Amino acid sequence: MTDHVRLISADSAAHEALRTVRVLYTDLDGTLVAPGGSVLGDAAGAPSLVVAERIVALARKGLDVVPVSGRGRPQLRELTQLLGWHTYIAEAGGIIVRGTGLRAEALVDHGQWPDDLLGNGETPVAAMNRVGAAEALIEAFPGRIEHYAPWQMDREVSLLLRGCLDAAEGQTVLDGLPLPLDLVDNGMLRSYGTLTCRDMPPHAYHVVPRGVSKARAIMLDLAHRGLGPEHAAAIGDSATDLEMAGAVGVMALVGNALGSNGVRDGLANGTRENVWRTHAERGEGWAEFADAWLTAVSDDR
Ligand SMILES: [Mg+2]
């Protein structure tokens, strides 16, 4: 099923497409960072500069990197600043922030929700709590879904849950609520927490206002920059990440992404002419992508 996904380092069409790319939208967990969350580790979590060296090399070339993550705004601000980047997309596409200092500009995306859907000063998460979105899922799938503590705190646009769900069945539950909501599968996790299911690995799930997605956030950010999809690439490891393919010229999957059922389904169901994979996993795969990008851009200058 996934054998037909071409290797980014060995494909002339990828090389050609990467020549015009100036900004990379990167997932973090399962993609950039090692198990445990460090950028100073290899795919197995052993100390390594493999990622850090590429972050520096891309910065030296003036190539921009934007983290796109399910993580919340405070977490991403710190990470973005620490890695020398400038823009970040938090809460699975719900918040785009340009700048990490006092004059940072934030765009909170409500997707397809009409302006009058929220009460005065109400955040999308407060509205979801008002209609009991998380509780409805927990009640419908006992032992199979829970709040993803402690990362569910201080969120504005998306609820963060951990579970082992058929995403379509979860969506049906959300469709019974008086708010238009999407259930987004943001990839595999390592820990089950207090879940009792063992028939599939635990995944992170986001509940977002209908239409909010990583892909939509990328389109909004590219429009703000005056760039087209041919100037952008994305890299990730989950089904949600694969949807970024629709917003960019080059979509890369790190090697470990191909173990995800959601990714395999996405590859089987979509036209994926602009999707490539790396051989290596996690940060080592990210480095492999960066090397292919740096080579393509060097050719052009
Ligand atoms: Mg991920």
User: Which pLDDT value is given to residue 154?
Assistant: 83
User: Which pLDDT value is given to residue 300?
Assistant: 56
Are 235 and 86 in a shared domain? yes
User: Is 30 inside a domain boundary?
Assistant: yes
Q: What digits encode the pLDDT tens for the residues 195-243?
A: 999 999 999 999 999 999 999 999 999 999 999 999 999 999 998 899 9
User: Is 148 inside a domain boundary?
Assistant: yes
Q: How far is the CA of 14 from the centre of ligand 1 (A)?
A: 22
User: Is 1 inside a domain boundary?
Assistant: no
Q: How far is the CA of 166 from the centre of ligand 1 (A)?
A: 18
Q: How far is the CA of 206 from the centre of ligand 1 (A)?
A: 12
Q: How far is the CA of 95 from the centre of ligand 1 (A)?
A: 17
Q: How far is the CA of 301 from the centre of ligand 1 (A)?
A: 32
Which of 179, 194, 209 terminates a domain? The answer is: 209
Q: How far is the CA of 34 from the centre of ligand 1 (A)?
A: 11
Are 128 and 193 in a shared domain? yes
Are 17 and 76 in a shared domain? yes
Amino acid at position 119, single letter: G
Q: How far is the CA of 27 from the centre of ligand 1 (A)?
A: 5
Q: How far is the CA of 198 from the centre of ligand 1 (A)?
A: 21
Q: What digits encode the pLDDT tens for the residues 57-101?
A: 999 999 999 999 999 999 999 999 999 999 999 999 999 999 998
User: Which pLDDT value is given to residue 152?
Assistant: 77
Residue 60 or 189, more confident: 60
Are 16 and 104 in a shared domain? yes
User: Which pLDDT value is given to residue 161?
Assistant: 96
User: Is 128 inside a domain boundary?
Assistant: yes
Are 276 and 225 in a shared domain? yes
Query: What is the pTM assigned to this prediction?
Result: 0.93
User: Is 290 inside a domain boundary?
Assistant: yes
The band of 190, judged by pLDDT with boundaries at 50, 70 and 90, is: confident
Which of 182, 209, 236 terminates a domain? The answer is: 209
Are 144 and 60 in a shared domain? no
Q: Could you tell me the CA-to-CA distances from 103 to 82, 84, 99, 100 in Å, in that order? A: 17, 16, 7, 8
Are 10 and 96 in a shared domain? yes
User: Is 279 inside a domain boundary?
Assistant: yes
| pLDDT higher than 80, residue 281 | yes
Are 16 and 90 in a shared domain? yes
Are 143 and 224 in a shared domain? no
Q: How far is the CA of 231 from the centre of ligand 1 (A)?
A: 22
CATH of the domain at 81: 3.40.50.1000
User: Which pLDDT value is given to residue 113?
Assistant: 96
User: Which pLDDT value is given to residue 260?
Assistant: 83
Q: How far is the CA of 31 from the centre of ligand 1 (A)?
A: 6
| pLDDT higher than 60, residue 41 | yes
User: Is 227 inside a domain boundary?
Assistant: yes
Q: How far is the CA of 24 from the centre of ligand 1 (A)?
A: 15
Which of 185, 209, 233 terminates a domain? The answer is: 209
Q: How far is the CA of 161 from the centre of ligand 1 (A)?
A: 14
Q: Which of 23, 3, 12 is nearest to 227 (CA)?
A: 23
Q: How far is the CA of 246 from the centre of ligand 1 (A)?
A: 17
231-234, long-range: CB within 8 Å, 24+ apart, which pairs? 231/20, 231/21, 231/22, 231/23, 232/21, 232/22, 232/23, 232/24, 232/25, 233/18, 233/21, 233/23, 233/24, 233/25, 233/289, 233/293, 234/24, 234/25, 234/26, 234/27, 234/68
Q: Could you tell me the maximum CA-CA distance found in the chain, to the nearest angstrom?
A: 58
Q: Which two tokens stand for residue 234?
A: 């994305």
Are 104 and 217 in a shared domain? yes
* Over residues 14-27, mean pLDDT: 98
- The boundaries of the domain holding residue 194 are 116-209
The band of 265, judged by pLDDT with boundaries at 50, 70 and 90, is: confident
Number of domains in the chain: 2
Q: How far is the CA of 254 from the centre of ligand 1 (A)?
A: 10
Are 105 and 222 in a shared domain? yes
User: Which pLDDT value is given to residue 39?
Assistant: 96
User: Which pLDDT value is given to residue 188?
Assistant: 85
Are 90 and 66 in a shared domain? yes
User: Is 138 inside a domain boundary?
Assistant: yes
Amino acid at position 233, single letter: A
| pLDDT higher than 60, residue 2 | no
Q: Could you tell me the CA-to-CA distances from 294 to 31, 56, 177, 254 in Å, in that order? A: 18, 12, 47, 17
Q: Average pLDDT, whole number, for the chain?
A: 94
User: Which pLDDT value is given to residue 182?
Assistant: 97
Q: How far is the CA of 244 from the centre of ligand 1 (A)?
A: 12
Q: How far is the CA of 236 from the centre of ligand 1 (A)?
A: 6
